[in-house]
Amino acid sequence: MSTDAPQSPPINYITPAGWQALKDELYSLVNKERPEIVQIVNWAASNGDRSENGDYLYGKRRMREIDRRIRFLTKRLEAAQVVDPEQREATDQVFFGATVELLRGDGSEQTVRIVGVDEIDTARNKISWISPLARCLIKAHEGDEVVLHGPEGKEVIEILSVEYVKID
């Protein structure tokens, strides 16, 4: 008897907006993009020789990419645990979904939002809850100083404020 029991997928913490974005992408792939590609592949296959048929070859490749993305999104949504920051009790401690205002070691201020790995958007200061910065912030309180060990060395960061608001 094998001791290798199937593992359940790891938890995928995600905000409501992130969950909806994944669900919308999955819906679009399944109900719009994939049927269009299937139609193109069927048309191209009916034209005869498939070995030099660009529409057929591209369509088959694109269909494989879509199917792979559909499987990925389905697994991510199955493992998703939606955490709504607006529903969290008021606290000055940093957890998933927090919007944190920081004073960086160089004197600059930065605001970051701690989100799921599928929602990262550095241009909008959304960082993953498993990123080095988020990991050093989690469980710290407003007013605490934390140390980030980065490629440039240690950086002392002060937590100026912590709030739990809607993240778009």
Measured in degrees and rounded to the nearest 5, phi and psi for residue 39 equal -65, -45
Residue 1 lies in a domain: no
**Which residues, in sequence order, are bridge partners of residue 82?**
14
29 lies in the same domain as 98:
no
Q: What is the pLDDT of residue 52?
A: 76
Q: What is the pLDDT of residue 51?
A: 73
pLDDT in tens, 112-165: 999 999 999 999 999 999 999 999 999 999 999 999 998 889 999 999 999 999
Q: What is the pLDDT of residue 48?
A: 75
Which of these three, 82, 102, 127, is where a domain ends?
Answer: 82
Annotate 84-151 with DSSP letters as a single string. -GGGSPP-SB--TT-EEEEE-TTS-EEEEEEE-TTS-BGGGTEEETTSHHHHHHTT-BTT-EEEEEET
Model confidence, pTM: 0.81
Residue 4 lies in a domain: no
Domain that holds residue 111: 85-163
Which of these three, 25, 49, 82, is where a domain ends?
Answer: 82
* pLDDT at 42 > cutoff 80: yes
pLDDT in tens, 46-59: 887 777 778 888 99
Q: What is the pLDDT of residue 35?
A: 96
Which of these three, 54, 82, 110, is where a domain ends?
Answer: 82
